[in-house]
């Protein structure tokens, strides 16, 4: 699998990184340990001691530093060895890699590539739990499948008609229509109307609505989707054009999702979802999260089964359809950014 390393990868929920508790994570085959000190500062180092390659994630936090609990080497936040018990001389180059890391939008972001290129401005504008305008719930799933298959799933919503009719209440309009696809510098944008959908986003599942489906899928795998629903017939009134910002809505939600490649064949999927404070409350959030848990479980079953078929028939090629435009564009973007890293 191709991994874009010059990108911010989601490693964990911010609230799951507790002070003085080393947290292990593998991202794109890199073993990393993350910890937070008493000041709230977050550090990410390669998860291996330079001495006997023991995992530092089994270590002990000591203020600003992390001690390996195999033979006691003490590491600074920049990865350099600060102390070797019983030895005054610290060899030149005694260090492990330190990764750029940022705590933002309720996620811990780690940059895997060239540290000189780790610009925090490149972090996608997700919505975190510190945003007072949104009432969010969260979850995560581990997949026995490569991240690319989840990317494909999120760049082609035609599957909603067949995988999620019971959870999202999606009808065949998701499969019968095609979005406008726009390639950005580090993302692909999708936008379209999908008519006559379940009214769940407005809290009334008995009333169909028209949904303005707009989202961006950012490298390495970050979905940002501000979703709005309108009274049935709105799409026709607007002749398929994007709704103006001030048009009255029946519901507004936001979902931030992140797909993190753990290894070439395993992935972690983070998601949050909930209504805007002017369009819902905790009860609606809880209903939406119940739907999300069901729907994303449906995706997991399908994608892991797909991975097993691929593993058992590696020489069989896929046959693209017209619904794969976004999938193709995102994969080409990944290939281009990965290729640029080697130039």
Confidence of residue 199 (pLDDT cuts 50, 70, 90): low
Exposure letters 85-109 (e unless 16+ CB within 10 A, then b):
eeeeeeeeebbbebbbbbbbbbbbb
Check residue 333 and give its pLDDT: 98
- Fold classification of 8-122 is Rieske Iron-sulfur Protein (2.102.10)
The domain ranges of the chain are 8-122, 137-338
Check residue 200 and give its pLDDT: 58
Its pTM surpasses 0.75: yes
The fraction of the chain above a pLDDT of 70, given in percent, is: 98
Report residue 194 as tokens.
């999908």
Per-residue pLDDT tens over the stretch 262-286: 999 999 999 999 999 999 999 999 9
Rounded CA Rg of the chain: 22
Nearest C-alpha neighbor of 270 from the set 259, 261, 262:
259
Query: What is the DSSP code (8-state) at residue 80?
Result: B
- Average pLDDT rounded to a whole number, residues 35-48: 97
Per-residue pLDDT tens over the stretch 105-136: 999 999 999 999 999 999 999 999 999 999 99
- Quick check: 215 pLDDT over 60? yes
- Quick check: 163 pLDDT over 70? yes
Confidence of residue 207 (pLDDT cuts 50, 70, 90): confident
The CATH code that applies to domain 137-338 is: 3.90.380.10
| Residue 303, number of CB atoms within 10 A of its CB | 22
Name the average pLDDT for the chain. Answer: 95
Pairwise CA distance, residues 224 & 134, whole Å: 14
Check residue 206 and give its pLDDT: 66
């Amino acid at each position: 699998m191709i991994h874009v390393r010059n990108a911010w990868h989601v490693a964990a929920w911010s609230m799951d990184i507790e002070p003085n508790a080393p947290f292990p994570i593998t991202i794109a085959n890199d073993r990393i340990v993350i910890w937070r000190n008493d000041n709230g500062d977050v550090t990410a180092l390669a998860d291996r001691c330079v001495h006997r390659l023991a995992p530092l994630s089994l270590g002990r936090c000591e203020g600003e530093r992390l001690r390996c609990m195999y033979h006691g080497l003490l590491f600074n936040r920049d990865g350099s060895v600060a102390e070797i018990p019983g030895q005054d001389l610290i060899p030149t180059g005694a260090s492990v890699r330190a990764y750029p890391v940022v705590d933002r939008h309720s996620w811990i972001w780690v940059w895997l590539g060239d540290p000189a290129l780790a610009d925090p401005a490149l972090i996608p504008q997700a919505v975190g739990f510190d945003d007072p305008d949104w009432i969010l719930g969260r979850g995560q799933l581990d997949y026995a499948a490569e991240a690319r298959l989840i990317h494909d799933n999120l760049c082609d919503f035609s599957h909603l008609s067949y995988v999620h009719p019971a959870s999202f209440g999606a009808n065949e309009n998701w499969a019968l229509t095609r979005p406008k696809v726009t390639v950005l510098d580090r993302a692909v944008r999708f936008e379209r109307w999908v008519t006559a959908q379940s009214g769940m986003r407005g809290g009334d599942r008995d009333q169909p609505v028209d949904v303005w489906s707009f989202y961006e899928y950012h490298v390495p795998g970050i979905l940002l989707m501000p979703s709005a629903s309108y009274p049935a017939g709105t799409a026709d009134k607007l002749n398929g054009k994007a709704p103006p910002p001030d048009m009255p809505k029946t519901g507004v939600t936001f979902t931030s999702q992140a797909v993190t490649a753990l290894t070439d064949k395993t992935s972690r999927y983070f998601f949050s979802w909930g209504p805007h404070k002017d369009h819902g409350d905790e009860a609606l959030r809880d209903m939406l999260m119940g739907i999300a848990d069901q729907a994303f479980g449906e995706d997991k079953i399908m994608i892991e089964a797909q991975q097993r078929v691929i593993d058992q028939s590696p020489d069989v090629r896929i046959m693209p359809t017209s619904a794969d435009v976004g999938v193709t564009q995102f994969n080409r973007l990944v290939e281009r950014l990965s290729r640029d890293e080697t130039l």
